Each structure stands twice: as structure tokens, then as C-alpha cells.
Structure 1
Amino acid sequence: MSTTERPRILVVGGGYVGLYAARRILKKMRYGEATVTVVDPRSYMTYQPFLPEAAAGSISPRHVVVPLRRVLPKAEVLTGRVTTIDQDRKVATVSPLVGEAYELPFDYLVVALGAISRTFPIPGLAEQGIGMKGIEEAIGLRNHVLEQLDKADSTTDEDVRRKALTFVFVGGGFAGAETIGEVEDLARDAAKYYNNVKREDMRFILVDAADKILPEVGPKLGKYGKEHLEGRGVEVYLSTSMDSCVDGHVVLKNGLEVDSNTIVWTAGVKPNPALARYGLPLGPRGHVDCNENLQVNGSDYIWAAGDNAQIPDMAARKAGVENAWCPPNAQHALRQAKVLGDNVISGMRGFPQKSYEHANKGAVAGLGLHKGVAMIVMGKVKIKLKGRLAWYMHRGYHGMAMPTWNRKIRVFADWTLAMFLKREVVSLGAMESPREEFYEAAKPAPVAAKPESEKAKAS
């Protein structure tokens, strides 16, 4: 960590907003004008809309993440967590991966912590659930699903087999619907290579407490998405929730009980709880309370955006929607980050702030290979697409939204190769404990017990 007399702009979080805001600030900043410091527990940013495709093997996991130090060569990137913020002293406490925590002074602060999975106190969820917020979870889910097929193919125990081939997904928003669509595709393809496993032997279940899935694309496309998944053999249970899943025994509110080794939790997100320790004004759901300039209310040197911020949706409010807030999606995060970066530079130079206003351009979702839904907003006209064309829209939009040309090219190369080569169905389950085999080979041999005659001589 460098020490400098220059003002420090501290960016807390290296996700979508943190990365793009830091890039914007570095681009607009004069040479030597300030030091930009980015703090995040991971040394990379994850493009979350591609996690379902990474879980299905359509994209290499390495291509879904962007290394912060490579993309921000002029910034100071620290791998750790900001645990507390003292606003009076303008000092943040940083807890690095190793070693003692230390204080880091700052002059301007950007809060971009993002969100974490929203969970409930359901018995067994912490032990059995698999999230879909990070690339590690996507890789883990892929290996886990293929490992279940390995188990089912190799066992003669019908109960073990049934439990291995039952897959439960909780949450019917973008993350849940896209993940179950991609994973069902993966399992269907993989089953061709097993002698004792067929798609008909598997059971896919999607559960949501709401009365529809994919609310982001509207009721008609949501209904199409539900019917499409059901046509592929997915059981969709709406207006219900999961009561418990202890030891993989799933109990739903509607009375259904199944045994499953795979319980994927995608039932929404909530702001990072670390925000509560920063002394910032928070909204009713724990978001940082900001004005239309992306400044934290009551402060002229702190900005926030993305999933951890409550930003007024000025476009919707001008259209007559009262108390409208920007939804937590990549469309808003990208645009907010750029305005935020400009406002930090303006604030540092004493210029007026610019308000954030962006009209919703629609939403796209992929439901597996060549399948999707899309709602494109053009002025007052909403164009609704489904099937292969919507899937192309989904890939095209997110492919171009992927940060850096390096990653864009790699993602499009993955898709191009997949057109000619079959999907990889290799399970690397040993990744979860890669040293286990070496430990078995290298662990000390047990000390042999001395014979009774030798014990007698020693005494």
C-alpha cells in the first residue's frame, strides 16, 4: 500500500459499479490529481448474468471474471474488507486477507459493496443450499450436478439414485429461471453418455413464493417461460415456499416432500450487511439512502450506486410513478457507475453534480441453449420476443455488456467453438478438496505398537 499526499478516492467493492466507477475516475482524472484505491475481498470482478452459462459449461469460468489489477493498472488494489468507516476522521479500517487490520485515510468515498443472497432461517438451508452469486458457486454447482449423475449411474440403491437425480431450485427470478434452464440442458446432454441414467429419471423442481416467474419481463413472457420449462419436464410450484431441507429432505409449503442432494437457492438478494457498520443513512431494506446525484444523503464526499444503494428512478418519477427506485440490475449499475465517476471528479474539483436518469430499456433472459425471452422497450412501445431470437438478444446484449474487450472476445470465442464442439461433461469434483489425494500419499505412517516382550525389557 502506497502512502501519498494526494487526495485518496476510496472505492469499497470491486464489483460492477466499483470497477466501472474506478475506470471512469482514472480516465477523467488529471495526472497526479488523486490516488484511487479499490478494496475488495476478491481480486476480480464477476459478471453475474453469465453465471448460469458458466454453470452449464457454455462459457469458461475464467472468462466470466475480470482481474482488477489488470484492468485498473493505475489504481491501488487491496485484497481485503473494509470493516468500519469513521466519517469524522475520514478513516476506513481495512482487514486484509492475512495480517493485522489497519487504518486507511480517505478524502472521497465510493460505496459499491453490492448484494448478497437473501436467505431465511429455514432448517437445513445453510448446510444444504447452493447459492449463485459468485463464480465459485457456479463451478461448484456444475461439478456437483455431474457428480450426482456419476453417483446415480454407479449405484444399485434406488433411494440413493432418486435423491441424486432430484434437483430443487428455489426462486423464479432471472437467476433461478436461467440457472434451472441451463442446468437442465447440461443434465440432458450429459445423460447421453451414461448407460443407467436418462433424462426421464431426473426430477427438476422450481419453487417460488410469488404467483409468477420472471417478473422482470412482464406477465405474458413470464407465463411463456413457465410453460416452456414445464414442457421440458420441470415442475413449477408457484405461491409456495420451502419449509425445511434438513439432510436434503425438502418440505414445501404446499405439502410436497422430496429427497434431494441438490438445493439451489436464488430467492433474491439483499444489500451487504457490512453497510450497517459504516454509519451511513440506510433505507427500509438496508440500502444506502442516496439522492438523484448518487450522493449519500447528508454528505458531499460519499457516493453509492448499484445493488447496495437506494437510487431514485427519475425517469419513472417523471412518468408519474411515485416513489420509484432503480431496480438492482446490470443495466442500471453500468450507467450509474459512469455518472458516479463523473460526479466524484466534479465534487473533487468543486463543480456541480449531475443527476442520474435512465429509462428502462427492457430485459432479456436465457433459458438454456437457443431458448429465451426478451422485452425491448422503445419509447412507449414494448417489443416482446421469445425462443431463439430472444436468446440471440440475450447473448448479444450481455456479450457486449461484459467488461473489457479481452473478456468480450473470449466469451464470443467460447460461444463460437460451442457451435462446432460438443458440451464438456467432465466433473471435477476433486476441486473442492484438491489436496486430499496428496495428503493420503504423504501423511506420516502410523507408529507401530511395540511388542509386549519389548515393553517388558524397557521396564
Structure 2
Amino acid sequence: MPKILIVGGGYAGFYTAWKLEKHLRKHEADVTMVDPLPYMTYQPFLPEVAAGSIEARHVVVAHRRHLKRTNVVTAKVTGINHANKVATITPPVGEPYELEYDQIVVTAGAVSRTFPIPGIADNAIGLKTIEEAVAVRDKLMSNFDKAASLPAGPERDRLLTTVVVGGGFAGIEVFAELRSLASSLLSKYPPLRFEDTHFHLIEAMGRIMPEVSLKTSEWVLKDLAKRGANVHLDTQVQGAVDGNVAISTGEVIPTDLIVWTAGVMANPTVVRGGDLPVEERGRIQTRADLRVGTAEEFVEGAWAAGDVSAVPDLSGGGVGGYCVPNAQHAVRQAKLLAKNLVAVIRGEGTKDYFHKNLGAVAGLGLYNGVFQSGDLALKGFVAWIAHRGYHGLAMPTWERKWRVLWDWWNNLWLGRDIVNLQAIQNPRYVFEEFAARPRPAADAAAAAPAKPAAAKPAATPAAKPAAAEPTDDKTEKAAPAKKPAAKKPATTKASAK
């Protein structure tokens, strides 16, 4: 059987494996998927996880539960030698090893793209993983707990200030969702007022959300302003040392929570660790039929899709002529890639990827959203319904759809769950604090001669000069000193009689 290796288990990787199981006949090919995480994350729901609207586990899809005929390997691909069709697999435990393949599908996704700005690497957090979304949520609520016990002043202001960097869809959604969460928390914290909370979004361009019309983006700005949020356009972050965000306007914003959503880049570990062709922006050069290569020629046995690839956008709507890195393209490319790969195995022809973007939808907190399709723009509650409807249907597997719908239904009647579980990031702190430990060796050695030393006061004063005498004399003088001590019990008994 031909061996198919899928590198990455995100949108594109999971859907490729999922659809290959559907299209391949039994024993027609051996499929292996390698990813360091055992699940796929539905990233459009990360802002709602950060706002406490959806349970974190419900927006991830377990690979092993839904991939029945795929060999799932939880490890990293740290090298691709396509000339010899061998990949280097680095597991979390054990030594790296080589895995041979006949067809490779590179779907390693993207990571947060940052710049060498002082303090960002040490103080900011991204929004690409479920772990980051949970950390953002717990950090915000933990800061409310701390601020509620402090008097008004700079330290309380710092704890109640949130800064989001990046005005794209991800940045605007998490910014609006966190603003909505903070407003709902105020009723549970009587010492805090709405005016005490501060939210700043920093965007280097002159507008936000380039995926929607300028008129729609301006409406979003006005809506955010009504909710007490500050948006800084044409502004760059120049530093974030010790949480003090310095921006190009000269202002410094002290904060304890910085969320970085200013762009993504193709997974560098996979791209740089292989010999597949890479285009100028660091993505794997990919044809319209999703084979690696150019329009003139392709690399035999190599495929790519999703954020790690540069796929031509035949609809003419892409940036620079390529598909933009989003979930819509990743899922659709993966479905076509699976069909084309099966066709090649069977000696059939391939089809080119074509998808015209039908619109964009974003959630802006509870009961508020925005939807854009051509000249049609929906705002407010109707757009929020469209947002949840679209992503609820797009969530892979019915098992996961029902879990997300159940979260929404419960929150409708019960409200947000505001339990703060930041301590879960250090789950052993209570056990460690009270756990009994063996006495260190140094302390044990020091304690060993303590018992003989306690008998020294019973020695006669004549024993003191003996310390300066030879060892033999000291021994002789120490002997008589023990006799009176031995007689003491007899004397005591006689007195008692």
C-alpha cells in the first residue's frame, strides 16, 4: 500500500485525514498523521472561550475519537527529506526516528507572528491555541479578584487595563468579547465601577477589519466606543517592558494583560526543516490543485494546504494573488486535497481549488455582531445570530456541535460561568505547600552530635582545660567526670525515701 504522511492535525490536516478515510477503499493506502497535540482546535471559537461563553474542551476535536483508520502519532515533524521521501519524527519521549512515505501532505498551520519589540516575548500572550484562550480568560478574572481588594490607584488601574494588539478579525473579536465579559463581572464586584476598567486596541493601519467594508468597520469602531473601549489607529507598539505598553503616540499604558493578534506566519519548524520549495513570505509554494510546486511543474508526491501553504486564489480576491490564511480556505482546501490525492493514487486527474469568499461574520460580545456579504451588511443582534449559526454548523462532527450548542443553551438561562481556574496552571501548589519532606542531609548531619552535647553540662569544670590537652589525657579526665553523674539517681532516691 502507498504510505501517506500528513504533517499537522489542525483544520487542513484533520479534514484531509477525515476525508481520506471516506474516499479511500479498504487497504488502498496507509495513512499516518503526525501532530504534537492530540486534538484539532476550532480557532474561530477562541474569543468565546476567552469570554467564558463556551467550555474550552468543547471547541477541540480529539483526533483518536474521530479518525478511525488513521495512524495518529503525537509528535513533531522536525525534518522533511523529500528527495529520499523520509521525515524525521521527534516524539515527546524517546529518540527521534525516520519515517518513510510515498505521499506527504504538509498542513502544519501557522503560529503567531511577532516582532523584536522589547517586552512582547516576555509579557504578551497570543490567541492561536485553546490553552492561550483559557489563560486570557483566567488572567482577566484573576485581575478582577486582586483589584477588588485594592484602593483606587495606579496598581488597581494596571490590573483592570487590557491591551489587545492587532485590529483584524481575531483581534476585534477577542477585544469585544473581553469588554463584554468585564462589563458582566462588575455586578459581582461591588468595589469596582465601569469607569475603573480600561480597554485599548492598538492597530498599525488606518482602519480595522479589512475583510469588511469601510462603512461597516466604522460602525464597529462607534459601537466599541459606546462600550468604553479605546481604539488607537495608525499606532505601533514600541515596547512592553514590565507590562508598560509604549506606543508611537508617546503614550504609555500600564497593563497586566497584553493579547497579541497582529498576524500569523507559516510554521517555521516544518518549513525551514524541509527541502520543499518556499515562496518569499515563508510559505510552501503550492499549485492550484494543491500539489507542491508552481503552475509549470510540481513536486511528485508532495501536497500542501492551509495556512502553511501559498495557494493561488483563482477567484481574484486574495492578497497578492494567494488565498488568505483563514478557516474557510483551510477546510475547503483539505476536502479537495483528499479527493485529488485519491485520484492520483488511482491514476486519475486532479481539480483546481476555487472558492469565492461569500462574506465575513464576527461576534462582538453577547447579542452583538457584524456580518458582511458584498454590499449587504448586518449589525447587532441579527449579525450575532448569523455568527453563531455559521460557526455552529462549521464546527466539525455532530458530537462537538451538540456540546457547543449545549453551552450556548445553558448560558442563555444560567449566564456566564465566572469560575476562575488560573491556579490550574500550577495544580500542585497546595500539595507542595503542605507535603512532608525528608530532612536534608546537611541538617541530619548537624543534628547527629546534638544528643551527646546535651550531657556536657553534667561534666565537672575540670573538663574544660582538657580541650587543650592531648587526646589521651582528655580521655582519662573525662572518665571520672561520669562517676558523680552515675551516683545522682541513687542520691535522688535516698532523698525521696
Same fold (TM over 0.5): yes
Match of 2:362 among 359, 362, 365: 365
Query: CA deviation digits over 1:191-237, x for unaligned, max 9?
Result: 11112112210110000001111111121111111111111010100
Q: Which whole-Å CA distance do the structure 2 matches of 1:246 and 1:141 have between them?
A: 19
Where does residue 302 of structure 2 map in the other structure? Answer: 302
Displacement after TM superposition at 1:322 (Å): 9.7
Where does residue 333 of structure 2 map in the other structure? Answer: 336
Q: Name the SS of the counterpart of 1:154 in structure 2.
A: coil
Q: Structure 2 length normalisation: TM-score?
A: 0.87
Where does residue 355 of structure 1 map in the other structure? Answer: 352
| 8 Å CA contact 1:347, 1:353 repeated in 2 | yes
Matched, 1:224 2:209: no
Which amino acid in 1 is paired with 2:420? S
The structure-2 alpha-carbon separation of the partners of 1:360 and 1:455, relative to structure 1 and needing over 3 Å to count, comes to farther
Q: Name the SS of the counterpart of 1:414 in structure 2.
A: helix
Match of 1:148 among 116, 140, 143: 143
Displacement after TM superposition at 1:273 (Å): 0.5
Displacement after TM superposition at 1:450 (Å): 3.3
Where does residue 228 of structure 2 map in the other structure? Answer: 233
Displacement after TM superposition at 1:300 (Å): 2.4
Q: Name the SS of the counterpart of 2:170 in structure 1.
A: helix
Which amino acid in 2 is paired with 1:232? R
Q: Which whole-Å CA distance do the structure 2 matches of 1:229 and 1:409 have between them?
A: 31
Superposition map of 1:176-215 within 5 A: 176-215=171-210
Q: Which whole-Å CA distance do the structure 2 matches of 1:336 and 1:145 have between them?
A: 36
Matched, 1:268 2:278: no
Which amino acid in 2 is paired with 1:374? F
Matched, 1:414 2:420: no
Superposition map of 1:56-455 within 5 A: 56-156=51-151, 158-274=153-269, 275-297=271-293, 298-316=298-316, 324-377=321-374, 382-444=375-437, 446=439, 450=447, 454=451
Which amino acid in 2 is paired with 1:176? G
Q: Which whole-Å CA distance do the structure 2 matches of 1:333 and 1:115 have between them?
A: 11
Q: Which whole-Å CA distance do the structure 1 matches of 2:282 and 2:25 have between them?
A: 35
Q: Name the SS of the counterpart of 1:296 in structure 2.
A: strand
| 8 Å CA contact 1:12, 1:111 repeated in 2 | yes
Query: CA deviation digits over 1:17-65, x for unaligned, max 9?
Result: 0011111111100100111101000000000000000111111111100
Between stretches 241-250 and 438-447, larger displacement belongs to 438-447
Q: Which whole-Å CA distance do the structure 1 matches of 2:25 and 2:51 have between them?
A: 44
| 8 Å CA contact 1:206, 1:235 repeated in 2 | yes
Displacement after TM superposition at 1:453 (Å): 5.7
Q: Name the SS of the counterpart of 2:15 in structure 1.
A: helix
Q: Structure 1 length normalisation: TM-score?
A: 0.94
| 8 Å CA contact 1:214, 1:225 repeated in 2 | no
Q: Name the SS of the counterpart of 2:80 in structure 1.
A: strand
Displacement after TM superposition at 1:249 (Å): 1.0
Query: CA deviation digits over 1:437-458, x for unaligned, max 9?
Result: 1111215165555398658689
Query: CA deviation digits over 1:50-105, x for unaligned, max 9?
Result: 00001111111111000001110110000010000111221100001111111111
Over alpha carbons, which structure has the higher Rg? 2
Displacement after TM superposition at 1:324 (Å): 1.7
Displacement after TM superposition at 1:156 (Å): 3.3
Q: Which whole-Å CA distance do the structure 1 matches of 2:418 and 2:368 have between them?
A: 20
Measured on the aligned residues, the alpha-carbon RMSD in Å equals 1.8
5+ unaligned residues in a row in structure 1: which ranges?
1-5
Which amino acid in 1 is paired with 2:430? E
Q: Name the SS of the counterpart of 1:9 in structure 2.
A: strand
Q: Which whole-Å CA distance do the structure 2 matches of 1:61 and 1:83 have between them?
A: 29
Query: CA deviation digits over 1:237-264, x for unaligned, max 9?
Result: 0011111111111100111112110111
Where does residue 3 of structure 1 map in the other structure? Answer: none
Q: Name the SS of the counterpart of 2:164 in structure 1.
A: strand
Q: Which whole-Å CA distance do the structure 2 matches of 1:78 and 1:13 have between them?
A: 10
Which amino acid in 2 is paired with 1:300? E
Q: Name the SS of the counterpart of 1:85 in structure 2.
A: strand
Displacement after TM superposition at 1:175 (Å): 0.8
Which amino acid in 2 is paired with 1:277? G
Where does residue 8 of structure 2 map in the other structure? Answer: 13
% of aligned pairs identical? 46
Q: Which whole-Å CA distance do the structure 1 matches of 2:357 and 2:405 have between them?
A: 26
Displacement after TM superposition at 1:187 (Å): 1.0
